[in-house]
Chain A
Amino acid sequence: MSEPKPLLEIKNLKMHFPIKRGIMGRTVGYVKAVDDVSLTIGEGEVVGLVGESGCGKSTVSRCIVRAYRPTAGQILLYDAKGRAVDLANIPEPDMLPYRRDIQMIFQDPFSSLNPRMTLRQIIGEPMRNYQICRGKELEDRVAYLLESVGLRPEHMSRYPHAFSGGQRQRIGIARALALNPRLIICDEPVSALDVSVQAQILNLLRDLQAEFRYSYLFIAHDLSVVDYICERVAVMYVGKIVETADTATIFKDPQHPYTAALRSAIPQLNPRLRQLPVPLEGDVADPANTPSGCVFHPRCRFAEDRCRRETPAMTLTAPRHHARCHFAGELNLSGLSQPAAST
């Protein structure tokens, strides 16, 4: 697969939140929510960011839209001519023209829509803010957007409470599309939905991507959902990306023990392949008090002395495949990632 032109390049991003104690508000430490994350999203590419709760995946997305001001690092957004602007370091007011290029779809379709606004107002607001259109033209555009996400334009005057969870998620998607963005950040867009509705929304997101060539940063904890929609996947653990590869590769041939464990933790949809494996003991490390060396070593069954002392670097193990492990490429993870014989 050829490298697409980069659209967004995250370089060594750090987001450390201070822990304050006492009446003087003395800083006693930092929660390293995102620690040295680098990730590139190509033009028209769908990149998945997976990890368990608290791994920092949502913090990355909030840094991209500058809901947080990153502690360090760069977030380069390229325009059509290949010129870059660093979103991590420009002053807040200068963000405005770039905000329309990056839109978000949120997890909870109930809290992400204002209950006092009609669909016309919700979906029209971004276009009014940027003075793109008004009046009849705005109305036509809202109708078109509603149709493209599978809702009826006649429902424009209704309020969100009249819609089901899946329909509300469609409204959120229409709002994200309103400004014709280049990058859409989908933060767990289907995890709050019923199983029978999830498939509709995933199909819709895929159809829209195929038609308009949006780039997606798709954040999820569910590997099977990521497998369905993403071309490339980055796996995060305690603030760090531990592995990136093409989707097919990461499931077939993971190089980091954490990826392999995550993969085998998904229950198989086959009652004859019963195993109930326990791929990982213990809990996710505390990002305020990270272990020495490799952050994963206390839970890793392959850990050696070196893992406790040295922090591993991201190493290239195959074309387009990086892993942050001292022993990347050397471990036999097949027993972990493939379902074993049934019991």
Chain B
Amino acid sequence: MEPLLEVKNLKVRFSTDEGPIEAVRDVSFEIKRGETVAIVGESGCGKSVMARAILRIVPAPGNIVEGQINYYRDGRAIELTALEAKGAEIRAIRGADIAMIFQEPMATFSPVHTIGNQINEAIILHQSIDHAGATAQTLDILNRVGMPRPSRIIHRYPHQLSGGMLQRAMIAMALSCRPQLLIADEPTTALDVTTQAQILRLLYDLQREFNMAILFITHDLSVVSQFADRVEVMYLGEVVESTDVIRLFEDPKHPYTRALLNSIPQTGAGRGQRLQSIAGSIPNPLHRPSGCLFHPRCDSFQPGVCDLVSPKEIDIDKDHRARCILYDEQYSDRVSSAAFGQ
């Protein structure tokens, strides 16, 4: 499959009064057409900033300082980081080629315009079409996302809809211009489990219908296991492991991925057993640990190596990379074999 989006050595820096924060540092990955890539990580890992960098909507004082983002359209690469952030070119891509849905549907819609007008606006902005035509398209797309009685919903204001319905309306707005890539930033986190199940199923079905790629950003590994083709695990701005979903869950390599998988309570499994927890908490991004960012919390920590050396991304297998010295031949003599046993 041909690539649709390619992120290369991306670095996003926020200049704050207390000092620069590198929210994303040296992140590379690609998304193929029709594929679902999940970016998973905890708060502060840079996953949302990364997603916003693609659309060039990184909030101030953040800036893309290094790297490339290539978007492929009709066999031609468009370098998104080279475009003017408020220019016509990126605005033609934003919302049309690449659309985004957010965690808080309540905060995404304007409270003073009807749902119908807001979706119409997106359609009119990107297509040469009159108001009546746009309304017809809005009704059609609302129908497809399973909205009950679209002809009444278009006259409603956001506060009159439930969370699940608003999330459907937001998906409808994102899909109204048939994007090639949908960026979904924690789309189900604010929803109840039964509504989450409805929305995930809907995204899955629409993805097949529209043949679009999805970049799914989440902290929830169980959603990842059900939804993604490929997974990038992020920690403090770096991708620490990158592979397909089956290998990630069955043969995780990075100690952070392993620990994360072990710390999730699961129904039925191991009732009455203690959960394996990860020691400590996520460091303040202003005070990054030296060497490997995860070393203060890692149970495979190798003194004298991990706290000094920044690990490189190592190709462990075809399409399976991890940023850990355990897999770096350069340090194989320094790593005790006990570190692998878990």
- Contact residues of A with B, CB < 8 Å? 52-53, 164-167, 194-200, 202-203, 206, 221-225, 227-228, 247-248, 251-252, 261-263, 265-272, 274-281, 283-284
Contact = CB atoms under 8 A, between A and B. Distances in A.
B198 interface: yes
A198 B263 contact: yes
A286 B201 CA distance: 24
B192 interface: yes
B266 A279 contact: no
B193 interface: yes
B277 A199 contact: yes
Contact of B268 (A251, A271, A275, A281): A251
**Best-buried of A167, A221, A228, A284 by chain B (most CB within 10 Å):** A228
Given A52-B195, A269-B221, 17 more contacts: A52-B193, A164-B281, A165-B281, A194-B43, A197-B277, A199-B264, A203-B277, A228-B271, A251-B268, A252-B268, A265-B194, A267-B225, A268-B226, A269-B222, A270-B249, A274-B226, A281-B198
Smallest CB-CB A-B distances: 6 pairs: A199-B277, A52-B192, A199-B263, A199-B275, A267-B222, A164-B281
Given A221-B193, A223-B267, A196 B282 contact: yes
Contacts of A280: 194, 197-198
Interface string B186-198: 0000001111111
B263 A195 contact: yes
A228 B265 CA distance: 7
B274 interface: yes
B92 interface: no
Contacts of A52: 192-195
A227 B192 contact: no
B181 to A, nearest CB: 21
Interface string B264-289: 11111001001111110110000000
Contacts of A283: 162, 164-165, 195
Given A269-B221, A284-B192, A278 B268 contact: no
A283 B195 CA distance: 8
19 contacts: A52-B193, A166-B281, A195-B219, A196-B278, A196-B281, A197-B278, A197-B281, A198-B263, A221-B193, A223-B193, A225-B265, A228-B275, A251-B268, A267-B223, A269-B221, A269-B264, A270-B225, A271-B249, A280-B197
Interface in B130-174: 162, 164-165
**Best-buried of B248, B271, B279 by chain A (most CB within 10 Å):** B271
